[in-house]
Amino acid sequence: MGHTGTLDPLATGILLVCIGKATKLSQILVKYSKEYVAEIELGYETDTLDSYGEIVKRLSKDELSSRLENININNIKEKNKIIVVKNFKSYHKSLKKVLDSFVGEIDQVPPIYSAIKLKGKELYKIARKNEKVEIKPKKVKIYKIQLIDTIKNSILKIKVNCSSGTYIRALARDIGIKLKTYATLTNLVRTRIGNYKIEDSYKLEQLENLALMKRINEIVIPISEFLKIYKKVKIKDFFKKMIENGAPLSLNMIKNIPFICKKEETIIIYTNTKKSISLYKTVRDINLDTESNSKMVVAKAWIMLN
């Protein structure tokens, strides 16, 4: 059994769990895009970038109001410890403009409290020793970011569609920087992984009950469901054992080529039994007119499913 990416201590939400041979697919599933609903509080920042950490930077309410005015928010004043915004349209328009600036490929510096390794050592272990290190930014993609609501006008509720490896804690920090303030992630729910949504998932208690009733197989998604997106290449039965042992795929092993495959494309290898044997990565284009008797290698083993 294995899973496809841990959640931060603060976070809840969907997690894909692989059983048996499906664990071999975890390296694919972990790269699926993600969707999150997050709450970000403005005005302070913690060492972990979420509300579980120690506050290291803070603005007074007057300072926060003053800085928010610099993003064209009108008539902000303090009342009963809540920031009151009279011109909501201007406020939301400015916030949306800042959020939209993150859409696309961005350079993101991961949090120091993370499982990313630096010279073989997890960053969070380095952070606990108060050691100073330089964390290099990494490329991530924000496909869509939406402002859902503002709570007490200093807490932003947003929905984010992003690539695997994106840290929402770091995104919260960077949103704060663009708003000329500090920001901390206070709530996070992962609502989607790839095409799998939280409303289609099961809670642990439900899984335990199904297991007790010996009905767990009713909700298990077969491996074939995950493989639907890949092109299938049928090989001659004679070469089945070679492919099972991870031999490179050459053109003369293929029974037919019904489509065009591009270089670095993932393909499924199967035989007359229609049972998938392996996932291969192409090393060059495969065209419909390619000489089928050639011993030219066109793909190499990636994930063995047999």
Q: Give the start-to-end residue ranges of the domains of the chain.
A: 2-197, 230-304
- The H or E element spanning position 151 is strand 138-151
**If you write DSSP's letter for every residue of 181-194 in order, what string do you get?**
S-EEEEEEEEEEET
What was the pLDDT predicted at 57? 95
Number of neighbours of residue 9 by Cβ within 10 angstroms:
9
Tell me which residues are annotated as active site: 8
For residue 153, the cross-strand partners are: none
Q: Provide the pLDDT confidence category of residue 76 given band limits of 50, 70 and 90.
A: very low
Asked whether the predicted pLDDT for residue 72 surpasses 60, the reply is no
Would you say domain 230-304 falls under CATH 3.40.50.1100?
A: no
Least confident of 1-15, 40-54, 235-249, 278-292: 278-292
115-158 residue pLDDT tens: 777 777 788 788 787 877 888 999 999 999 999 998 877 899 99
Write the class of the CATH domain 2-197. Answer: alpha beta
- The H or E element spanning position 165 is none
- Coil/strand/helix, residue 277: strand
The mean per-residue pLDDT over the stretch 80-105 comes to 71
What was the pLDDT predicted at 288? 61
Q: Provide the pLDDT confidence category of residue 184 given band limits of 50, 70 and 90.
A: very high
Asked whether the predicted pLDDT for residue 81 surpasses 80, the reply is no
Structure tokens at 226: 């995950």
Structure tokens at 285: 């284009």
Tell me if 2-197 shares its fold with 230-304. Answer: no
